[in-house]
Every structure is written in structure tokens, then in C-alpha cells.
Amino acid sequence: MAKTTPSATPNSFKLMGEDIQVDYSTTSVDGTPRFTFKKGQKTLSFSGSQISSSAVKIGTLVSVTVATVPDKSSTSFSVLLPAIKLPESGRQTFRTIGITTVTQTTIAGPPPVGVQQTYKSVAMRGSARIVAF
């Protein structure tokens, strides 16, 4: 791997926690972001507008929808990426959290009164680096 300029910003992230693995890149050969979510035997791949990325005070929240049950719920998985400036080695390890969110949905008008979203968090270990596409 080539040396990077000190304080370069990574564009590729690999994360693991419990039985979840995530590979996320902010760009790719065609210029669009890519996100691969693996849980158990299930592997889901996302690209472009299927991936939501939001800068928040505590980092960057990257989310994808991993399941939808019509007229019942939508499940998303998000990972919180901290701000990272890469050292000369070009690779930085870090710890973060992944969050599974289940949002109640309905096609019959507004959802019933009560809690509309539930969360499950998982501790994750990751590495960040720059990949040339």
C-alpha cells in the first residue's frame, strides 16, 4: 500500500461486531458510494442513493434500509463513523457503534399512538484507509 499524506481523510471502512460485517466506501469506480451489509448468511449490497450519509456533531451517520414489511415496519442499519485523519501508514483502527432501527409503518394513515421506532446497538471495531478507485 502506498504511503498517504499525513491527515488524509479515509474513503474505505471495514467494520465488524457480533455477527454483523460492514464494508463501506464513500466512492467507487463509477463515483458512487457502496455499502455491503452482512449478517449471518444474509449479504445485502447498496450503492448510490440507497445509502444515506449525514454529518452530525458526533461523526457521520451512514444508513441503509435492510428490510421492509409492507404495512408493518421498515428496518434500517446505521453505523456512526468518527472523524478520522489517517497517519502515514494509511490505515487507522477505531471503535464505534452500529444501530438497527425498526420503524413502524402503515398504509392506513397515521400510525397508532406510541413509540414509533425501536433501536438495538452493537459495538463495532473497524479500520479506515484510502483506496484508489
**pLDDT tens, 43-90?**
999 999 999 999 999 999 999 999 999 888 999 999 999 999 999 889
The predicted structure's pLDDT at residue 5: 53
Whole-model pTM over 0.75: yes
77, 67 contact by CB (below 8 A)? no
Which residues on adjacent β-strands are paired with residue 53? 62
Please, what are the domains in the chain?
A: 12-129 (2.40.128)
